[in-house]
Chain A
């Protein structure tokens, strides 16, 4: 969805089409979040008329899929992989191991017992 992509490339990490796409989705979600929350509030509010709630639900489901938070997936900033990514380090387990062994990650060292 090219309309969500940044006009000027703005990623400072490893970039392939998947990371760029994920980044666009994150930014789209950030932009649409207040609207989504407002609609979600209207849907959950039982004091509102039934019709208003139904319309809000419809609007929410008809928003672009890029504005949905469930579309966002944490990807590796060193290789763009989407599986086995350690959340604290934003890296896949293998990249994390390599960086940790090289001493590039502060406070991480190999343990053995």
Chain B
């Protein structure tokens, strides 16, 4: 009978080696089930959609490839401001230096 058990254990050992599992015939709690678990972090961290790159990032990214990315909204705005300036209707310049004390 003991011969049979030894043979079974040998078989188990070979099996473990083949399928690269841990040989643990006595069922000792060695915590291997923790090592077998897959990491859940990447899947959990990918839950919320990440921010897509904006025009500024694209401009920076393509600048070293000497490619121009046109920001149409910004161009429109600048054009509008230059038109206002030409008519003398633009915003006043920012004051420099400390502001004068207000009278109460």
Contacts and interface: CB of A to CB of B under 8 A. Distances in A.
B31 A43 contact: yes
Given A44-B29, A46-B30, A47-B28, A9 B51 contact: yes
A74 B32 CA distance: 29
B28 A26 contact: no
Contacts of B29: 44-46
Nearest to B52: A12
A42 interface: yes
B34 interface: yes
Nearest to A87: B47
Contact-size category for B: 20 to 34
A72 B49 contact: no
Nearest to B29: A46
Nearest to B49: A12
A31 to B, nearest CB: 8
Interface string B24-64: 00001111111101011110110111111000000000000
A12 B33 CA distance: 36
Contacts of A43: 31
A99 to B, nearest CB: 14
A27 interface: yes
B21 to A, nearest CB: 16
Contact of B48 (A12, A34, A40, A44): A12
A29 interface: yes
Given A11-B51, A33-B41, 17 more contacts: A9-B51, A10-B50, A12-B51, A22-B48, A29-B41, A30-B42, A37-B35, A41-B34, A41-B35, A44-B29, A44-B30, A45-B29, A45-B30, A46-B31, A47-B30, A74-B47, A77-B49
A5 B35 CA distance: 29
A72 B35 CA distance: 22
A12 B49 CA distance: 5
Contact of A33 (B30, B33, B40): B40
Contacts of A12: 48-52
